[in-house]
Structure 1
Amino acid sequence: MSDSTSFAPQTKAARHALIVQILGKERIHSQAELRDALVARGVSTTQATLSRDLVELRATKVRASGGTQVYAIPEAGAPGQVHGAVLSSGDDATAHTSARLARWCADLLVTAEWAGPQLVLRTPAGGAQLLASAVDDAMIPGVLGCIAGDDTVLVITRSQQTAADLAAHLLSLAEPAQRCPDRP
């Protein structure tokens, strides 16, 4: 049982967000499995609506390890590229570092400090939205979400340890040694 409670409105946007979350965390082989996963989370929908949702989200079936086909959602900012990671309970931030997250940390992250389960990331003016979006898209276990201003990102995590580990990981991505060879 989780130590936190989550409430979501019964809107199309909330349903889409839940579908993205489910497909990012579980191996879903069919629309029937996806409908069951939604029902288990308190969201009931028709097969026709679910089919439209999958089209709107550009969900496609990809071959997972073991050869089975599962639904996946394209990564944000990379049309046609599919996020193939399926989270397991033992995953950490390193397993969910996308090229996009690594790039924005290297280019934008100035500082990372945490207090309890909250992490504050500082960027140059105008950079917070880009970095917050990359953290959200990485679907890092234990990260509940981000709020971005102009130069500050507030990352809410499930625990102080998650915040501390994430701060260390993001700062390591900002180190010059972690940059791609073709980048300054």
Structure 2
Amino acid sequence: MKRSARLALMRGLLEEGEFTSQHELIAALAERDVEVSQSTLSKDLLTLGAVKRRTPEGSLVYAVGDETEGGGVAAEKLARRCVELLQSIQHAANQIVIKTPPGAAQFLGAHVDRARLPGVMGTVAGDDTLLLVTTDPESAVRTAGIIAHMTRTGKPTRLRDLEKEGQ
């Protein structure tokens, strides 16, 4: 199996299941006739940006960002920066406008760029205003919801988190 296919499979497994160890993930891959060493798996987890996150039940599991496409550390940093800097967020058509304190828009925009949110084509930042351009109006609604949720919770947000809350 090619590396790109293996990474796609691993991403799917991590998004759907809860793996507390690399050995569990190696076993899940083996069930799908994919043999990898622990060393290769470790490198693949780094490539995917996978990190261990605490579940609501308290266990640590591997997680990779899906709706927050950059996932991992980038999504966690974006969530923290949203709490610190986001003053307001509005969307219209395929655009999202975020207001920040003076001088903070470019800083927050860089974190949005690193998180690679799905549907976001790019950002343009001024002094206190950040513009996100999305691929379509639905992406703007979805992305604005994700960013607003991150601002409320201080944690990376996935679409399924919003669905659970009925948003």
Unaligned runs of 5+ in 1: 1-22, 29-62, 74-81
The corresponding residue for 1:105 is 82
How far is 1:120 from its partner?
Answer: 0.8
Q: Distance in 1 between matches of 2:76 and 2:68?
A: 13
Asked if the contact 1:110/1:124 (under 8 Å) is kept, the reply is: yes
Unaligned runs of 5+ in 2: 9-21, 27-35, 51-62, 156-167
Change (3 A) 1:95 1:134: closer
State whether structure 2 residue 126 is matched by structure 1 residue 160: no
Question: Identity of aligned pairs, percent?
Answer: 31
State whether structure 2 residue 103 is matched by structure 1 residue 137: no
Q: Note the alpha carbon deviations across 1:47-78, whole angstroms, 9 max, x for none.
A: xxxxxxxxxxxxxxxx7x844433856xxxxx
How far is 1:93 from its partner?
Answer: 3.9
More helix by share: 2
The corresponding residue for 1:125 is 102
Asked if the contact 1:94/1:169 (under 8 Å) is kept, the reply is: no
| Residue identity opposite 2:7 in structure 1 | R
State whether structure 2 residue 125 is matched by structure 1 residue 148: yes
State whether structure 2 residue 49 is matched by structure 1 residue 83: yes
Q: Normalising to structure 2: TM-score of the pair?
A: 0.53
Between Structure 1 and Structure 2, how many residues are aligned? 109
How far is 1:129 from its partner?
Answer: 1.2
Runs of 4+ in structure 1 off by over 6 angstroms are none
| Alpha-carbon RMSD | 3.3
What SS is found at the alignment partner of 2:116? coil
Asked if the contact 1:27/1:86 (under 8 Å) is kept, the reply is: no
| Residue identity opposite 1:83 in structure 2 | G
Q: Normalising to structure 1: TM-score of the pair?
A: 0.49
State whether structure 2 residue 4 is matched by structure 1 residue 27: no
What SS is found at the alignment partner of 1:121? strand
How far is 1:103 from its partner?
Answer: 0.6
Q: Distance in 1 between matches of 2:46 and 2:120?
A: 20
Give the number of the structure with larger relative contact order, counting CA–CA contacts within 8 Å between residues 6 or more apart: 2
What SS is found at the alignment partner of 2:123? strand
What SS is found at the alignment partner of 1:27? helix
Q: Distance in 2 between matches of 1:167 and 1:150?
A: 20
| Residue identity opposite 2:78 in structure 1 | L
